[in-house]
Amino acid sequence: MRDRLAAQGLDSVVVQSLPNIRYLTGFTGSSALLLLRAGDAVLVTDFRYAAQAPREAGNAARVEIDQVNVWDRLKRVLAEQPGGTAGFEAHIATVRERERLEGLGPRRWEATSELVERLRMIKDPGEVAAIRAAAALAQAALAEFLPSVRVDQAEFSIAARLEAALRTRGSEWHPFPTIVASGARSALPHARTSMRAVGRGEWLLLDFGAQVDGYCADLTRTVVVGGRADERQRAVYEIVQQAQRRAIDNLRAGLSGREADGLARDVITQRGYGEAFGHSLGHGLGLEVHEAPRLSPTADTPLPADAVVTVEPGIYLPGWGGVRLEDDVRLTADGAELLSDNAVDLIELV
């Protein structure tokens, strides 16, 4: 990170993003500013974290606690080395925070964008292990709870039991609101879980995740409840399954995000459902459930080795329903290493 500052002619940078602060220092609190300079790093937080912050940051940063206002404390820290050129996270800072920065003392402020996020794309073995553990936890929770799903159960009830199984098995929190969508509502890619009861023979789409050591897993499974899948359901499911399999089998570092997306999109388009796959194939995973890089028709940047991404093709037909299958993989020069189980054979809860 300091090499990046030097390359941009910056003496320091103020980091506001809490995931970025955690990545750089280990601090997990809900309020902090991090000043990173060539010679040191200073973590500014409040009284609630007076004991926690030094323990978590260790030698990564000097900790400053302020009883009233972290911005006032940051101003005093900046006064230790006045002047120079300082960066700020332009993609994070609000207009009000930008004004606050101007009031922190005589220096030149320069907008930066995703300096830390570009480092976070590349996962070290410990990060990969945490994501793999989160995926294993999520899979175990699904296996425990899925046999209890029945016709006429409300989506909210199903979500509550799945989330309870995740927490009981050790998920630190839910990386995003769990999606449980049944029947025609499964055609809503980001459906909000509702009180709707699942009907016999309907799709039930489950999009859920787990968190271990701050790192996220993100999985989607689509099942049939209360009966056997009909011919149309089987046909659509098979297309999505084939699209995901082709993507996983052929993904590798060095492909552009556009090329990666096309691996699955081409299968779906050739079978006549191209207009029904309206989102990108995948996204990065890490301390946030949506990070760089993107596997998207508009992403021309090469995918880096050791990035962890989702692979989640889908077909969504309004008024009928939708199918999405999602797994997590680590990209290497030789291919994609599965971090989740890819257990995507069609399940019929009869």
Give the residue extent of every domain in the chain.
Answer: 2-120, 125-349
| CA-based nearest residue to 134, from 295, 288, 333 | 288
Model pLDDT, residue 27: 98
- State the average pLDDT over residues 232-256: 98
Tell me which amino acid residue 167 is. Answer: R
CA distance 154 to 183: 12
CA distance 220 to 343: 10
CA distance 209 to 173: 9
Query: pLDDT for 135-193, tens place per residue?
Result: 999 999 999 999 999 999 999 999 999 999 999 999 999 999 999 999 999 999 999 99
Model pLDDT, residue 105: 80
Burial 34-71, CB ≥16 within 10 A → b, else e: bbbbeeebbbbbbeebeeebbebbeeebebbbbeeebe
Could you identify the residue written with the tokens 């796959």?
A: 277
Query: pLDDT for 13-53, tens place per residue?
Result: 999 999 999 999 999 999 999 999 988 999 999 999 999 99
Report residue 6's pLDDT band, with 50, 70 and 90 as the boundaries. very high
Cis peptide before 293 (omega within 30 of 0): yes
Q: Yes or no: is domain 125-349 CATH 3.30.750.24?
A: no
Strands (E), 16-78: 33-37, 41-46, 62-66
Measured CA to CA in angstroms, residue 23 lies from 8, 57, 77, 294, 310 at distances of 21, 10, 22, 20, 21
- Does the predicted model carry a pTM greater than 0.75? yes
Phi and psi dihedrals of 212, rounded to 5? -130, 125
β-strand pairing of 33-37 with 12-15: antiparallel
CA distance 60 to 57: 5
Model pLDDT, residue 83: 85
> In CATH, which of 2.102.10.10, 3.40.50.1370, 2.40.100.10, 3.40.350.10 is domain 2-120?
3.40.350.10
The share of the chain scoring above pLDDT 90, in percent, equals 96
Model pLDDT, residue 263: 98
The share of the chain scoring above pLDDT 70, in percent, equals 100
Query: pLDDT for 211-224, tens place per residue?
Result: 999 999 999 999 99
* Token output for 79: 């006064």
Report residue 202's pLDDT band, with 50, 70 and 90 as the boundaries. very high
Query: pLDDT for 79-100, tens place per residue?
Result: 998 889 999 999 999 999 999 9
Beta bridge partners of 33: 44
Beta bridge partners of 330: 308, 337
Model pLDDT, residue 106: 82
Model pLDDT, residue 266: 98
Query: pLDDT for 272-318, tens place per residue?
Result: 999 999 999 999 999 999 999 999 999 999 999 999 999 999 999 99
CA distance 343 to 169: 20
Model pLDDT, residue 182: 98
- Which three-class secondary structure state does DSSP give residue 163? helix
Give 308-350 as a DSSP string: EEEE--EEEETTTEEEE-BEEEEEETTEEEESS----SPPEE-
Report residue 321's pLDDT band, with 50, 70 and 90 as the boundaries. very high
Say yes or no: do domains 2-120 and 125-349 share a fold: no
